[in-house]
Structure 1
Amino acid sequence: MRTLFERTEVGDSFETAGRTVTEADVVNFAGVSGDFNHHHVDADRMADTDYGGRIAHGAFVFAAATGLLWQSRSPADREDVVAFYGVDDLRFPAPTRIGDTISAVFEVIKKDPRETPDASGVISYDVTGRRSDGTTVLSCELLTLVR
């Protein structure tokens, strides 16, 4: 069977399923990360801001997008993922709020062959995370080391 690196072509793209951001997500992420910034945890303070309430951590939104990628992979593709290799140009152009449903579009923009015993190369994805209303809430280049 061909490896994920061999099965993937520049230009391939797909959209993940959606995921609704919950109160529990934001509270749990604050606890796990130690990021108790008022933007995420202080409803009273954030109520009268331009955000209109608390917003999800950008790092949570990124983590959710990578989770959606993982969930969209076939069992064979999952076996061929070696490691998260990095992220470039990570941006959060709009907030993600509790109750928003987000999904992500992944487009293969580059394949970088590697001659290692454990991997065939690095696949680079252009990632766009969107709310269900189409607003972009995340953009980045995600690099994954694969067989």
Structure 2
Amino acid sequence: MHTIDRWFEDYAVGESRASVGRTITETDVVMHAGQTGDFFPHHMDAEWTKTQPFGQRIAHGTLVMSVAVGMTAGDINPQAMSYGYDRVRFIKPVFIGDTITVTAEISEKSDHQRRPEQSGYVHELVTVTNQHGEVVLVLTHLYLVGKRP
């Protein structure tokens, strides 16, 4: 990683980037359960999940989201900060051993309502797919980005 200055004006709607793959492991699931306190049997009980529709343990949606967002983190940009996430949807389950990849595409730009001369919002559509090419999670990541002085 290195530091870059990328201003609001430098982003173009339609530009995209893609990650390499990352396999979700049992350790990921166990650690996330410990960090969040979510020990639901859907994630932790291999025998019980054999009796359920998916037939195996599933990764926490919040785990997949966290990993996916981390996979999109790249260069440090002092001109931008995460403003939050909208429209988060867990489309399909992610199982232990699945490999996810992430694409992130600039879908929209808008001026800050109170300080339009100083900053704006960049909306990035984040799509997470598994090794079969199936979409498992989508969200919109919003960035607050400074404009050139």
TM-score (normalizing by structure 1): 0.86
Percent sequence identity over aligned pairs: 38
Q: For each residue in 1:10-63, what CA deviation from the matched residue of structure 2 results, as whole angstroms up to 9, or x when unmatched? A: 111121111100010000000001111111111110023221210000001111
Unaligned runs of 5+ in 2: none
Partner of 2:35: 32
Q: Does 1:16 pair with 2:35?
A: no
SS of the residue corresponding to residue 26 of structure 1 reads helix
Q: Aligned-pair distance for 1:135?
A: 0.8
Q: Does 1:52 pair with 2:55?
A: yes
Equivalent residues in 2 for 1:65-104, closer than 5 Å: 65-70=68-73, 73=74, 75=75, 78-80=76-78, 82-104=80-102
1-structure distance, mates of 2:44, 2:79:
35
TM-score (normalizing by structure 2): 0.85
2-structure distance, mates of 1:85, 1:6:
18
User: What is the total number of aligned residue pairs between the two structures?
Assistant: 141
2-structure distance, mates of 1:2, 1:121:
15
2-structure distance, mates of 1:81, 1:94:
35
Partner of 1:111: 109
Unaligned runs of 5+ in 1: none
Partner of 2:130: 131
Q: Greater CA deviation, 25-34 or 4-13?
A: 4-13
SS of the residue corresponding to residue 105 of structure 2 reads strand
Q: Greater CA deviation, 81-90 or 55-64?
A: 81-90
Q: Aligned-pair distance for 1:81?
A: 5.7
SS of the residue corresponding to residue 137 of structure 1 reads strand
Whichever structure has more helix as a proportion of its residues is: 1
Mapped contact 1:80–1:146 kept (Cα < 8 A): no
Q: Does 1:62 pair with 2:65?
A: yes
Q: Aligned-pair distance for 1:142?
A: 1.3
CA radius of gyration, larger in: 2
What amino acid is the match of 2:105?
E
